[in-house]
Structure 1
Amino acid sequence: MKFLKVLFFLICVVATLSVSAQSSEQLKRDRDRLTDELEKLNREYNETVNNKKSTLKQLNILRAQINLREKKIDNINVEVRNLNSEITENTNVVHSLEQQLKQLREEYKAMILFAYHNKSGYNKMMFVFAAKDFNQAYKRLKYLQEFAAYRKRQAGYIEEKEKELYGRIVQLDKTKEEKRNMLLEQQKEKENLGKERSNQQKVASSLTKQESQLVAQRRELQRKIAAATREIIRKTLEEARKREEAERAAAAARAKAANKDAPAPAPVARKTDSQVLNATPEAAALSSSFLGNRGRLPWPVTNGIITQGFGTSKMDGIVVDNDGVDIRTSSAAAVRAVFEGQVRTVQDIMGAYMVVIQHGEYFTVYSNLRSASVSVGQKVSTKQTLGTAATDAATGETVIQFKLYKAGVQVNPEPWLANR
């Protein structure tokens, strides 16, 4: 029974370490990706430091760096927690193996002493011939043979446990060293984060009046995009309700014509926006498929980083409310649909295009496009190109905004996108 408990414990430990290893591999890939993106931003920032006209661009790069640096620190925190868990598990395994090895050695020592006291062939023969009958003598002889074989196996078990114990100790030392390196890297990242925040304050305080106006213009652009998006969703809902009411009225008229004495139908409760948008089997299936791909949707650009997240944040003393995510990408990058659906609008807002696509009850919005290659009513497939990203002439930056709505309600789109 004791052996079974130990075996069960070791199986659980191996399973836990296997899952942890998989998670650690993903975390390491994420950390390496963040490091690469930070290095690219750092090179670009250094190119703009001596350019007075690029002050706003420097500020935006610093914001992106700070955002990525914070993500990397969070990533390292998770990795350190995983390493702590791995160290604890390996320590427990080492203690368990030490106890097993101690028990095996004690048993082996007892066998050796027994064999020493009974090492002469005379004693063995006396043990066999002292049996009451032939059957007992045979069993005693088999016992002696099995005892000798068991002693050899026990020596093999001890050797195996010693090797396993040594391997675990080596692995434990390696994990502890990895943890020390991770903590050093974390400290370095925190120092860099502090420098970047300090630079951000300096750059923000040096913004000229003209550059401050550019910031205000950008906020106005975002307001207009949000208003246009809400309007197109409102119209889509209104059209869907009108179709539903017309179909219900037609059905009631047919029923009345078939049976003139039938009582008037009871009033129907008003459906929710989601129910209206999912009225047809096709729309309901599309909504379900879109929801089923949460966390796996492709990014609207093949290469990009999020420079401003969803929700309310404070930048340079100004409270900013963002109902989407800003994605920094390369010049003239292709902007693509994250899922199949139907184009609801293509609008020019302050010199840049905005495209809205409906996916059942969900709507995705792609704004700040230099050009658009789709039209209203067109059905698009996943990853189909919608247009190209626009570059701000004043800052030299190429940033698109991606938004997600569920039946008119703003949703944070970042958790819906696949890991890069």
Structure 2
Amino acid sequence: MRFLKLVTFLLLMISLQSAFGQSSSALKKRKEAITREIEELKRSRSKIDKNKKLSLNQINLLNTQIRLREDKIRTINTEIKMLDTKIISSTTEVISLQTNLNKLKAQYSKMIVFAFKNQGAYNKLMFIFASHNFNQAYMRLRYIQQVGTFRKRQAKEIITTQISLKKQINELDQNKKEKTNLLMDQIVEKQTLGKDKEQQSKILTGLTKKQKELQQHLSRKQKEANTLNKAIQEAIRKEILAAQRKEAERRRRAAAAEAASKAKNNTDKPKPVASGSSILASSPEDAKLSSSFLGSRGRMQKPAQGIITQGFGQQKFNNVTIFNPGINIKTAPGANVYAVYGGKVSKVIYLVNSYTIIIRHGEYFSIYSKLKNASVAAGQEVTARQSIGKVATDITEDLTEMQFQIWKGGTPVNPSGWISQ
């Protein structure tokens, strides 16, 4: 029974170690990915800083670097907490195995002493022949055999326990060393984070001194963004109007057919056509596509491989506030852009020296801006993960960055919750 308990205990610890190993591996991969992103941002910032020009991208990239550094510290903290749990578990296991080993050795020692005192064949025979009857003699013979078998099993259990104990002690030592290394990494990252924030403060101070230049820069950027947003809104408005006309025509024909067949009273009037964006999902096909697109929220892949450098919504820089209707993704030069979901290309726009592609998914639209080319055309059906163009590079700042938006009808929504991180 004791042997079975030991085996059960060891199996439980193996399963816990396996789960810990999987979680630890995921955290290590996450930490390595963050480190690569930080290094990439540092290289990009170095190129921008060499230009010696005031740039909003300077603060954007530094803010992203700080965010990633904080994320890395949180990941390290999670690793440390997991190791603490593992160390406590391993310590408990070592104590349990050591206690069990001491008991096994004590029992084995008593058995050896007993066997030594009764090791002669004569003593064993006398023990059997002293039986009162045949059944008792048979039972005593079985007892002697079982004692020998049990002694061998005890010896084997002692060896197994010693091996497990040694393994757990080694793992415990490794976990303690790993925790020490993580604590050192944590200190280094916190110190670097402090330096990044000092640099952030210096850049913000420099921007404050050049408030007028900053205002002009932001005004120009906002004007370009407004021009593009108006073009996007106009394209979506036309889609809505086209859907309304199509639905109105469908209902007119249906009403005419009903009147001709006298299926309904002549006084019946067709219902008014919806005026909102819901008209985009009025047909069964569009309704199904809208539902499917919504159902994939949180599981779509990013339209391009890279780092999100600017989020959705209002962005404040000193006393200046601008609105970003999507997210900005920094990529490698010439990176491909992919459709996040299947749909139909609504429009391809060329504005602000770059292309913008609008893809309709029923009531929803995915929008890809700052592209140097477009490999699809309006009216074309596209599939999920199909390449639709390449990201443009801002040659003045040597920065390759695209913007990704999602609209529900005529309203932009935060794309961050739609794509997998």
| TM superposition score category, shorter chain reference | 0.7 to 0.9
Amino acid at match of 1:101: L
1:249-398 map, 5 Å: 249-260=252-263, 276-287=279-290, 289-291=292-294, 293-302=296-305, 304-312=306-314, 314-316=316-318, 318-398=320-400
Q: 1:54·1:395 contact (CA, 8 Å) conserved in 2?
A: no
Q: 1:298·1:418 contact (CA, 8 Å) conserved in 2?
A: yes
Indicate the residue corresponding to 1:129 in structure 2.
129
1:198-277 map, 5 Å: 198-207=198-207, 208=210, 209-260=212-263, 276-277=279-280
Residue 162 (structure 1) shift: 0.9
Distance in 2, matches of 1:165 and 1:136, equals 42
Indicate the residue corresponding to 2:15 in structure 1.
15
Amino acid at match of 1:214: H
TM-score, structure 2 normalization: 0.84
Distance in 1, matches of 2:2 and 2:244, equals 69
Q: 1:365·1:402 contact (CA, 8 Å) conserved in 2?
A: yes
Structure 1 residues 29 and 255, CA gap change in structure 2 (3 angstroms): same
Structure 1 residues 236 and 398, CA gap change in structure 2 (3 angstroms): same
Indicate the residue corresponding to 1:157 in structure 2.
157
Amino acid at match of 1:182: L
Distance in 2, matches of 1:352 and 1:317, equals 29
Helix, strand or coil at the partner of 1:342:
strand
Q: 2:337·2:389 contact (CA, 8 Å) conserved in 1?
A: yes
1:343-377 per-residue CA deviation (whole Å, 9 max, x = no partner) reads 11222343433211122343211112233332221
Amino acid at match of 2:303: P
- Cα root mean square deviation, aligned: 3.4
Helix, strand or coil at the partner of 2:140:
helix
Structure 1 residues 392 and 204, CA gap change in structure 2 (3 angstroms): farther
Deviates more, 1:21-30 or 1:147-156: 21-30
Q: Which runs of 5+ in 1 are unaligned?
A: none
Distance in 1, matches of 2:111 and 2:279, equals 81
Q: 1:327·1:400 contact (CA, 8 Å) conserved in 2?
A: yes
Deviates more, 1:245-254 or 1:26-35: 245-254
Q: 2:364·2:408 contact (CA, 8 Å) conserved in 1?
A: yes
Distance in 2, matches of 1:230 and 1:122, equals 105
Indicate the residue corresponding to 2:78 in structure 1.
78
Distance in 1, matches of 2:330 and 2:297, equals 22
Residue 329 (structure 1) shift: 1.9
Deviates more, 1:9-18 or 1:28-37: 9-18
Q: 2:325·2:405 contact (CA, 8 Å) conserved in 1?
A: yes
Indicate the residue corresponding to 2:39 in structure 1.
39
Helix, strand or coil at the partner of 1:398:
strand
1:130-145 map, 5 Å: 130-145=130-145
Q: 2:3·2:157 contact (CA, 8 Å) conserved in 1?
A: no
Distance in 2, matches of 1:159 and 1:18, equals 24
Q: 1:364·1:405 contact (CA, 8 Å) conserved in 2?
A: yes
1:269-320 per-residue CA deviation (whole Å, 9 max, x = no partner) reads 9989797544555445544554555454333224x21111234554446555
Distance in 2, matches of 1:134 and 1:124, equals 16
Structure 1 residues 126 and 289, CA gap change in structure 2 (3 angstroms): farther
Helix, strand or coil at the partner of 1:376:
coil
Amino acid at match of 1:177: K
Deviates more, 1:405-414 or 1:67-76: 405-414
Distance in 1, matches of 2:411 and 2:96, equals 55
Amino acid at match of 1:326: N
Structure 1 residues 335 and 141, CA gap change in structure 2 (3 angstroms): same
Structure 1 residues 106 and 251, CA gap change in structure 2 (3 angstroms): farther
Structure 1 residues 412 and 113, CA gap change in structure 2 (3 angstroms): farther
Indicate the residue corresponding to 1:106 in structure 2.
106
Q: 1:391·1:398 contact (CA, 8 Å) conserved in 2?
A: yes
Distance in 2, matches of 1:23 and 1:241, equals 52
Q: 1:41·1:61 contact (CA, 8 Å) conserved in 2?
A: yes
Structure 1 residues 333 and 279, CA gap change in structure 2 (3 angstroms): same
Q: Percent identity?
A: 40
Q: 2:325·2:412 contact (CA, 8 Å) conserved in 1?
A: yes
Helix, strand or coil at the partner of 2:169:
helix
Helix, strand or coil at the partner of 1:52:
coil
Distance in 2, matches of 1:106 and 1:232, equals 85
Mapped pair 1:87 → 2:90:
no
Residue 395 (structure 1) shift: 2.7
1:99-124 per-residue CA deviation (whole Å, 9 max, x = no partner) reads 33233233323423432443333332
1:216-247 per-residue CA deviation (whole Å, 9 max, x = no partner) reads 32233334444544454454345445544543
Structure 1 residues 50 and 242, CA gap change in structure 2 (3 angstroms): closer
Q: 1:48·1:54 contact (CA, 8 Å) conserved in 2?
A: no
Q: 1:67·1:307 contact (CA, 8 Å) conserved in 2?
A: no
Structure 1 residues 310 and 177, CA gap change in structure 2 (3 angstroms): farther
TM-score, structure 1 normalization: 0.84
